[in-house]
Amino acid sequence: MVNKERMLAEFFELVKIRCSTKAERQVADVLKGRLTALGMEVFEDNTGEKIGGNCGNLIAYIEGTIQGAPTLMLSAHMDCVEPCGGIEPVLKDGIITSVGDTILGADDKAGIAAILEALRVIVEKKIPHGPLQIVFTVAEEGGLNGAKNMEPSLLKADFGYALDSSGAPGEIINMAPGQNNIIAIVHGKKAHAGIAPEEGINAIVVAGAALAELKYGRIDFETTANIGIISGGVATNIVPDKVEIKCEARSRNMEKLETQTHHMKETFERVVASHGGRAEVIVRQSYGPYVLTEDAPVVTLAVDASKNIGLIPVVKATGGGSDANFFNNYGVPTAVLGVGMNKVHTADEYIKEIDLYNSAELVISLIKTAGTMKK
Asked if the structure places residue 135 within a domain, the reply is yes
Task: Give the helix ranges, DSSP H, for 87-244.
Answer: 106-124, 145-148, 203-213
**Does the annotation mark 79 as catalytic?**
yes
Tell me, what's the pLDDT at 100? 84
Same domain, 306 and 338: yes
State how far the alpha carbon of 243 is from the alpha carbons of 195, 205, 267, 280, 301, in Å.
22, 10, 16, 11, 50
Distance CA 141, CA 356 (A): 21
Q: Find, among 232, 234, 233, 216, the residue nearest to 224 by Cα.
A: 216
Residue 133 pLDDT level (bands cut at 50, 70, 90) = very high
Q: Which of 140, 158, 353, 361 is catalytic?
A: 140
Whether 374 shows a pLDDT value over 90: the answer reads no
Same domain, 211 and 302: no
Distance CA 249, CA 257 (A): 7
By percentage, how much of the chain surpasses pLDDT 90? 98
Asked if the structure places residue 375 within a domain, the reply is no
Tell me, what's the pLDDT at 295? 97
Last residue of a domain, one of 287, 317, 350: 287
Q: Into how many domains does the chain fold?
A: 2
Same domain, 167 and 27: yes
Tell me, what's the pLDDT at 212? 97
Last residue of a domain, one of 220, 254, 287: 287
Same domain, 171 and 88: yes
Tell me, what's the pLDDT at 375? 77
Domain of 225, CATH number, reads 3.30.70.360
Tell me, what's the pLDDT at 243? 98
Q: Find, among 337, 331, 322, the residue nearest to 176 by Cα.
A: 322
Distance CA 156, CA 297 (A): 16
Q: For 50-58, what is the mean pLDDT?
A: 97
Same domain, 209 and 99: no
**Does the annotation mark 107 as catalytic?**
no
pLDDT tens sequence across 225-283: 999 999 999 999 999 999 999 999 999 999 999 999 999 999 999 999 999 999 999 99
Same domain, 166 and 278: no
Same domain, 300 and 158: yes
Q: Find, among 334, 211, 224, 338, the residue nearest to 275 by Cα.
A: 211
HSE, CB side, 13 Å, CA atoms: give it for residue 171. Answer: 17
Domain that holds residue 265: 178-287
Distance CA 332, CA 152 (A): 9
Task: Please state which of the ranges 69-78, 182-191, 366-375 shows the lowest mean pLDDT.
Answer: 366-375
Tell me, what's the pLDDT at 348? 96
Q: Find, among 364, 356, 363, 373, the residue nearest to 14 by Cα.
A: 356
Tell me, what's the pLDDT at 142? 83
Same domain, 230 and 354: no
Q: What's the start-to-end Cα distance of the chain, in Å?
A: 27
Same domain, 194 and 113: no
Q: What is the mean pLDDT of the chain?
A: 97
pTM of the model: 0.91
Q: For 72-101, what is the mean pLDDT?
A: 96
Tell me, what's the pLDDT at 51? 97
Per the CB < 8 A criterion, the answer to whether 341 and 351 are in contact is: yes
pLDDT tens sequence across 151-179: 999 999 999 999 999 999 999 999 999 99
Last residue of a domain, one of 287, 322, 341: 287
Tell me, what's the pLDDT at 219? 98
Asked if the structure places residue 97 within a domain, the reply is yes
Distance CA 283, CA 184 (A): 9
Distance CA 203, CA 53 (A): 37
pLDDT tens sequence across 310-362: 999 999 999 999 999 999 999 999 999 999 999 999 999 999 999 999 999 99
Whether 202 shows a pLDDT value over 80: the answer reads yes
Same domain, 90 and 159: yes
Asked if the structure places residue 184 within a domain, the reply is yes
Domain of 160, CATH number, reads 3.40.630.10
Local structure of 92: helix, strand or coil:
strand
Residue 72 pLDDT level (bands cut at 50, 70, 90) = very high
Whether 27 shows a pLDDT value over 90: the answer reads yes
Q: Which of 79, 117, 164, 323 is catalytic?
A: 79
Same domain, 268 and 296: no
Q: For 106-132, what is the mean pLDDT?
A: 97
By percentage, how much of the chain surpasses pLDDT 70? 100
Same domain, 172 and 229: no
